[in-house]
Chain A
């Protein structure tokens, strides 16, 4: 397949199998053989320095990448439009209807409706025993959820902000992750721990944390990050149905994304990455909110003549090295764009994994764009600088594709 240099279609196909009522196995698509690498002549031949802080003078910094509307091709005819938090609510409600063992616990999830309205209306429908308002004691209620899961209940534990779950780290690490192993398989912990994280709108340092980097080493858990209403609902349902403990990372700024999702029931695969935009020149790996920054940058890149392949990795633990590997084999260049901190973040692990496994296929070193290693400042301009912006992504791609 020869790559087109001009005007590649920016179809954002949501690539998830829609197997209703059935958990799907990972898709093993047959990708074409390694295509001939074409030389892209960038329109701007000037060298840019590697600093991520440098912004192209001609480009206006767009801080509000979330406003980008994703073009989704809905696979079935009918569908309904909703916001991401409503999609999560729908997924949760459907699972609670389906299985009486599912319960929700968290702060203000019941009568208040949830601080981000994900659990709105559920307390009225299911009662206080299934949608539990806990006092403010993350350690205790996370532990309680895990204890309840040991007997067969399926609690969905909400951290009002992911950062608060640091107080429950012991329970998540030692009990949630390890009990299945240390008990020799006697106990399963089918718990879902979810909550919003990430850098929001000037929320301050303590409320803008990215906990996926701290949790990623815990053996025994699975981590997923949702980014669209479609995969939010799908991942929520899959996480609840999974027998393993799953941590579902949502993002504070993505709750109001609007998309049309299918009417019939569907589930997303927990371990599979999503191909957002197929391409030829470079693989851009991203997740959660950075997906939108990347897609924004992709528009610019396409106009400049590049053909990026954008993959939303979705599964943060374990990585879907199958999809990622096939992409690397095709494009030979990788750029990781993440919101985690540079040190010890998801990108760091992913870089290591790609280097170890696909070193032979790489034409350039793996580049990783992450947030700065600083506590997120309050001031708006400074906060913009801590996170990766689309312009930086464009610069990085240009540099990699030289």
Chain B
């Protein structure tokens, strides 16, 4: 179930797209063509202290199809999480990413698994983008042992070390210094990798962002700070919380780029550009103009501070999945029916994963004390009442 561009589908072959000639009983392979297509982004980039990349994005039908499939999967996962939360199988906080999927897939398309990503609590789709399994995600959300953090992290603490996904952080803005630390480690080890540190428009007002930015610029760290501007910091709109809503310019001496975050191809182009820039010149800020359909979290209806018309308006005009669908149809890469079938498959995938996660066991009570310390020097972990809850770690 890898979400990389090198997909499970058969190797590329050029097949004439004469769909109408084939009987409908034979399922036509949708195009796995990797010949490059160039597509113009709808909205131009706005830049600060740097030259904006070109609006023409190199891509291929395989890639666009992968975008569609991955985004559909992410969307379904978030909707499924919504219903699970309402069924009280997911508790606590659940921050959903639907509407912002283009960011996760576009970024993945531009980088490798060695580049690090660190984000805030809205991390389900980023986890999936990094190669996380649906079952692991749902298990973690429901607090099962199978979860990516063994059920001990929850919605806000998804991590995947082998894919360089560093989470998953609950405190707003606290991941920004961590992200600069990751970039520092990459520079220290002389790897040619970069770190994408994602934060929101609300976190953009945190002091630690500017502290970390100063250090990153001073030490030329390969850090790319990505502001996911979905225009609302929980219930506060950007015009009410920021004097200067041009988040890409806030870096002052650090170059910035403003990107249409609902366009996966634009995101891909910007991230590619940013990676090249960061490896040569140090940090850069990307502001992704995006939107979330759900409220801030499941306990927020999302309609007290914005109108339903606004939400449906964005959904009609700027929805990332619809955009890619139109692209696929207009470039004749796939038919309407194929895309619908793909969506049905994805839905089934997600439903299966939910069912599997529902069956998986909860952690044992002894798991309470595991992974408190790395047991290297004989450290033991005790409960408050040392007599009864004492556990000797393996």
Contact = CB atoms under 8 A, between A and B. Distances in A.
Interface string B193-204: 000000000000
B374 A222 contact: no
Interface string B179-221: 1111011111100000000000000000110011011001100
Interface in A128-154: 129, 132, 134-135, 137, 139-153
A181 B152 contact: yes
Contact of B177 (A135, A144, A152, A353): A144
Contacts of A153: 184-185, 188-189
Interface residues of B, number: 56
Interface string A181-196: 1111111100000000
Interface residues of A, number: 53
A231 to B, nearest CB: 15
A380 interface: no
B215 A175 contact: no
A242 B376 contact: yes
Interface residues of chain B: helix, strand, loop or mixed (majority): loop
A144 B223 CA distance: 12
Contacts of B150: 184-185
B159 interface: yes
Interface in B163-185: 166-171, 174, 176-182, 184-185
Interface stretch (B8-16, B343-351, B365-373): B365-373
A153 B183 CA distance: 12
Interface string A164-180: 00000011001100011
A182 B150 CA distance: 8
B353 interface: no
A213 interface: no
Given A148-B182, A181-B152, A356-B385, A318 B380 contact: yes
Nearest to A181: B371
A350 B275 CA distance: 52
A236 B379 CA distance: 17
Contacts of B160: 186
Contact of A143 (B154, B208, B373, B387): B208
Nearest to B157: A182
B207 A269 contact: no
A271 B382 CA distance: 14
B64 to A, nearest CB: 33
A271 B166 CA distance: 30
Contact of B169 (A142, A148, A175): A175
Nearest to B214: A135
A186 B214 contact: no
B387 A357 contact: yes
A256 interface: no
Nearest to A185: B371
A82 B148 CA distance: 49
A80 to B, nearest CB: 27
A129 B188 CA distance: 7
A219 B211 CA distance: 27
B174 A174 contact: yes
Contacts of B387: 357
Given A140-B211, A143-B208, A243-B374, A150 B153 contact: no
Contacts of A181: 152, 371-372
Nearest to A243: B374
Contacts of A151: 116, 182, 185-186, 189
A103 B185 CA distance: 10
A238 interface: yes
B114 to A, nearest CB: 11
A23 B379 CA distance: 12
B32 interface: no
A302 interface: no
Given A140-B211, A144-B180, A147-B178, 20 more contacts: A103-B188, A135-B211, A137-B215, A139-B207, A143-B178, A147-B184, A151-B182, A151-B186, A153-B184, A171-B177, A171-B178, A174-B170, A174-B171, A179-B167, A187-B166, A242-B374, A270-B377, A271-B377, A271-B378, A318-B382
Instruction: Give 7 closest A-B pairs by Cβ, nearest first.
Output: A147-B181, A143-B177, A140-B211, A184-B150, A137-B211, A147-B178, A144-B181
28 contacts: A26-B378, A135-B211, A137-B208, A139-B177, A140-B176, A140-B215, A142-B177, A143-B178, A144-B181, A144-B212, A147-B184, A150-B178, A153-B185, A170-B171, A174-B169, A180-B371, A181-B152, A182-B154, A183-B161, A184-B151, A184-B152, A186-B160, A219-B372, A220-B372, A244-B374, A318-B379, A353-B386, A357-B386
Interface of B: 116, 118, 147-154, 157, 159-161, 166-171, 174, 176-182, 184-189, 207-208, 211-212, 214-215, 218-219, 370-374, 376-380, 382, 385-387
